[in-house]
Amino acid sequence: MSETLSFKDRVVVITGAGGGLGKAYALEYAKRGAKVVINDLGGTLKGSGHNAKAADLVVKDINDLGGIAVPNYDSVTDNASNIIKTAIDNFGRVDILINNAGILRDVSIAKMTPQDFQSVIDVHLNGAYKITRAAWPYMREQKFGRIINTCSPAGLFGNFGQANYSAAKLGLVGFAETLAKEGFKYNIFVNSIAPLARSRMTENVLPAHILKQLGPEKIVPLVLYLTHQDTTVTHSIFELAAGFYGQIRWERSSGQIFNPEDPNFFTPEAILNKWSEITDFKDKSFNKTQHPLQLSDYNDLITKARNLPKENNQGSIKINSLKGKVVIITGAGGGLGKSHALWFAQYGAKVVINDIKDPQIIVDEINSKFGNQSAIADTHNIITESQQIIENAMKQFGRIDILINNAGILRDRSFIKMTDSEWESVLQVHLLATFAMTKAVWPIFTQQKTGFIINTTSTSGIYGNFGQANYAAAKAAILGFSKTLAVEGFKKGIKVNIIAPHAETAMTKTIFGEKELKNHFDASQVSPLVVLLASDELQSSVKSKNGVTGQLFEVGGGWCGQTRWERSSGYVALSNEVTPEMIKENWSQVTNFSNGKSIHPQSTNESSMAILQSVQRAIATQGTNKSSTDKGSVSFNEPGGFTYTHKDCILYNLGLGAKSNELQYVYENDSKFQVLPTYAVIPYMQSTMSLDMESLVDNFNYAMLLHGEQYFKLGSTKLPTKGQLKTVAKPLQVVEKGGKAAVIVGGFETYDVKTKKLFAYNEGTFFIRGAKVPSSKQVMNKRAPFAIENFKAPTSTTPDFEIEITTDEDQAALYRLSGDYNPLHIDPIVAQSVRFPKPILHGLCTMGIAGKALYDKYGPYDEMKVRFTNVMFPGNKLKVSAWKNGNIVIFRAVDLNRDVVVLDNCALKLIDKAKL
C-alpha cells in the first residue's frame, strides 16, 4: 500500500456540502487533516427555500471527529464571493474547490419554461463560474489550486427531460477545460467528474438495488486523489460509479478531405458520397484518428485538400429534398450565417435571414439570384423575441422545416480579468438564444412530425481554449443541450445535430493567426455539411435505425470529421472501502485505452449499464470475500461458485408456478421431492460474465445484448436438491451476423465441487447488436448436436398435447429471487426506458413454465433446446403446444394475450424409462 495521502492544513471549499456527495467529500477531507468550508443553502432539490441546519450538522459531525470545519450558507448564484471569503477569513487561503452544488428542474423541452432553464444554468454553471472566479486570484498567487467540476452522464450524452441539466453539466466541462489550460503554469489543475451516485437527485430515478451500489462514498476516493498536491492530472474527465473508475475522452475521426476551391464541386453531394469515410474512425493517409486536446491542424488539412483534383466525386445521389423547405438562420447577416443562407437558397429552400443588423442586403442578394420571396429579413431579438421570429416565418411561408442556431459573439479575456458582464453576455447570445429559438420552433416540428435543428458549438467548447472560459462554457453547454434534444426529438421525427466550424469570419478574424488568414478558411467551406445535415437524403442513406441525430461534426477547410466519446476499460474496486491510495495504485487501469476494451457510449443508459456491467463482471470473475450465513443463498466465494439447498429448489419451482398441493415440488420432506430439470440453467447464469464478451467482439455494448437461444443437458437423470457447484465457461462460437450483430455461443460445464461429477452442460447463444467480429476473433468450435438441430413445429399436424397456463402478475417478482435480478423484470421505470410498457417475464422463466408443463405430461427429460422469439408479460396466458415423436418432443409457446410466439424451434429429449 502506498503512503497515505494527507491533506493536512489544506483548505477545501465544497458547495452543496450539506448532504449526499458534498457531505461525503467533506468528512473524508476532514479525516485527512483538511480544513473545510461547508457551503449549503439548505434549499429543496428544486432550489427553493433556505435552511442553515444542513451545513451546521455536517460541521458538527466533523468537529465531533476532531476535524476542523466552518459553515457557510450563501447561495452560489447570489453571493459566491462570500463563500471564498469565509475560507480566507477563517483559514487564510483556499487550496481546493469542489463545485458540487446543484438543483433539478426536470421537464421535457416542450413544457420547459425559461425559468426552468435559467435556474438550472444559474446554480450549476453560473454558480461554478462565480465561486471559481472568486477563488482564482488566491490560487494564482499561491501557485497552487485544485478544482473539480461536477458533470453528469446526462451532460455527456443527453437524457430525456433534462435539457437544462444536460446543458449546464456539459458547460461545466468546457469551462473546466479552459481553466485547466489557463491555470497550468500556476500549478492549478482542473478536472471534471461525471458520477452516477446515490443522492437526492438519483433516488427517485434509479431502482433500489442499483442505488445500493451507488453510495457517494465510492465517488470520494477519485476526487481526493485528483485534488492531492502530488497529483498532476488536469484537463481530464472521469466517469465513476459503484466502484468503477474510468476516464472518458474525445475521439475524433480522421475524416475526409475535399478540394474546397470550386463550390461547384465541394458540395453536399460530394460529402454524402464520402459519408462512411467521415464517420469510420479509421486512419487515413492524410490524417489519423485522434484523441485531441485542441482543434485539428486545419493548415495541414487544407494544404492536402488543395492538392486533390478540384472535381470532387459527386456520387449518384442528388440533394432534392430541400426544395420548398423553410429555413430560419440566426446571425445570418454575415459570416457563416450568410454562407449557410446562400447555400440553402441554392438548393431551393426559402430562407429567413435573422440578424440584429439590417439583413436586407443579404435578402436582396438571395432574391436576385434565386427569385423573389426566396428570402425574407427578420431583425427580432433571438433571446427575447424568438416567438416573433417563428411567427414571422409562419406568416410569410406557412411552415418551418429547419432551424440553424448560428448567432454568436466573442468577449475573449483571460479568466483572471473576465468580468461578470463578459461571462453573462456570451452565455446569453449563444446558450440562452439557442434554447429560446428551439423552444419556440419545437411545437411546429412536433405537429409536423418532422424538423431539423443544427446547433453551432465550437472546438473551444469541446477542448477548451485560453481566454475563452465564457465562450467554451456556452458552446459546450449547447452541445449537452443538443444531445438531450436529439433524445427527445427522436420519436417526433426531429433530427438534431451539432457542428464545430473552423472559418474566418468577422467574429473569429481577430483570433486567427497569420497562417489561418493566409489560408483563408472561407465560411463556404462549412456550409455544404450544414445543408447535408438538413437533408432527407442523408437520413435515408445511412443504415441506422436512428439515422443521423445527436452527432457532433468538426468541419472547415475542406475537411469533415466526426467527434465522439471514448471511455477507458477502467478500474473496478470491489472492496467495500475504496481509498484514494487504491486509485493511485491502479491509475494505469483507470486511464487504460490501449487494451482493446475501451467503449464508445452514446447514451446515458448505455453508459450507466456498461459501468454496472463492468462491476458485475468483476464480481463474477474475481469473487468477493463475503460469506453468507444463509446456507440457502448464492455464494461467490470463488469464481463460478454456486451453493444451493432445498430452499432454493422450492423457490425455483414456485417461480415456475408450482402449487402448494404439488408436494413433490414444494415440500422437502416429500418422498418424491425434486427440483424441475430446467433448474440446470440457474447455476450457469451466474458465470456468463466470465466469458468476457468485451474481449471476444469489437464494439461490445451490454445494453444491446439479447439472449437468443438456450440449450442444456443434465449430468444425471435427476438433479440433486442441494450442492456446491462450479461452472467453467468457454466460447464455442464467435461470429458476425449480417454485419449488424455479433453472435457469441458460450459453453458452460457445471460440476459438483465435492463429487467432481457433471451437474449440467449449458450452451447459451447471445446476440450483441452493433458489435463486430474481425476475422482474428472468429471462433468456430463444435457444438452439441441437439443444440444446433432445427426443430420446426409442425403446421399441418394437430399437437399431441396443448395446455394454456395463466401466469401470475407477480411471477417475475418471485422468479428473480432464483438469481436474475435484472431490473427490467421488476422496475417499471427501467422497463419503460427500453420501451416496454411494463416489466417483462424472464425468458428462462417462460422456458421453465413450459418445461414444467411438459415434465408433468411426458415425464423426465435430460436435454432441452429453446429459441426466445419475443417477450412475455407476467399475468398473460401462455399456450404450450407439443408434438411427440419417439423420445423427442417438439414444442412452442405463444403469449395468447398478444398472439405472439415467445418460444420457438424448441425440443426436449425424454429419458429412457429403463434408465430410471
- φ and ψ at residue 515, rounded to 5 degrees: -65, -45
Distance of CA 317 to the CA centre of its chain: 33
Using the CB atoms, write b or e for 857-886: b if 16+ within 10 Å: ebebbbbbbbbbbbbbbbebebbbbbbbee
Residue with grid cell 461525471, as numbered in its chain:
194
Alpha-helical (H) ranges within 35-161 are: 53-64, 80-91, 114-121, 127-142, 153-157
Q: What amino acid is encoded at 844 in this protein?
A: L
- Is 165 one of the annotated active-site residues of the chain? yes
Q: Among residues 628, 623, 638, 817, which one has the least CA distance to residue 725?
A: 638
Angle at which helix 469-489 crosses helix 433-448, to 10 degrees, equals 10
Angle at which helix 433-448 crosses helix 386-397, to 10 degrees, equals 40
Greatest alpha-carbon pair distance for the chain in Å reads 96
Q: What is the DSSP letter of 792?
A: P
3-state secondary structure of 148: strand
Q: What amino acid is encoded at 853 in this protein?
A: A
Q: Which residues pair with 733 in a beta bridge?
A: 745, 780
Give the separation between CA 426 and CA 485, rounded to whole angstroms: 21
Q: Are 821 and 847 in contact (CB under 8 A)?
A: no
* Burial of 720 (C-beta count, 10 Å sphere; 0-12/13-18/19+): middle
Q: From the candidates 29, 73, 165, 571, which is the catalytic residue?
A: 165
Give the separation between CA 780 and CA 619, rounded to whole angstroms: 28
CB under 8 Å to 777, separation ≥6 — which residues? 696, 697, 698, 734
Q: From the candidates 169, 181, 338, 495, which is the catalytic residue?
A: 169
Q: What is the DSSP letter of 449?
A: T
Residue with grid cell 473552423, as numbered in its chain:
502
3-state secondary structure of 501: strand
Record the cell numbers describing residue 290, joined without a space: 485522434
Q: What amino acid is encoded at 596 in this protein?
A: G
- Bridge-based pairing state of the strands 705-714 and 758-769: antiparallel
Residue with grid cell 443544427, as numbered in its chain:
454
Q: Among residues 149, 11, 23, 145, which one has the least CA distance to residue 83?
A: 11
Give the separation between CA 494 and CA 664, rounded to whole angstroms: 58
Q: Are 121 and 167 in contact (CB under 8 A)?
A: yes
H-run or E-run covering 752: strand 741-752
Q: Are 246 and 196 in contact (CB under 8 A)?
A: no
Give the separation between CA 460 and CA 61, rounded to whole angstroms: 42
Q: Are 534 and 211 in contact (CB under 8 A)?
A: no
Residue with grid cell 472547415, as numbered in its chain:
556
Instruction: Quickly list DSSP for 630-697.
Output: -TTS---SSTTEEEE-HHHHHHHHHHTT--TT-HHHH-TTSTT----GGGGHHHHHTTGGGG-HHHHS
- φ and ψ at residue 450, rounded to 5 degrees: -165, 150
Record the cell numbers describing residue 422, joined without a space: 463578459
Distance of CA 73 to the CA centre of its chain: 34
Give the separation between CA 677 and CA 848, rounded to whole angstroms: 9
Give the separation between CA 847 and CA 868, rounded to whole angstroms: 9
Instruction: Quickly list DSSP for 387-446.
Output: HHHHHHHHHHHS---EEEE---------GGG--HHHHHHHHIIIIIHHHHHHHHHHHHHH
Catalytic residue numbers?
165, 169
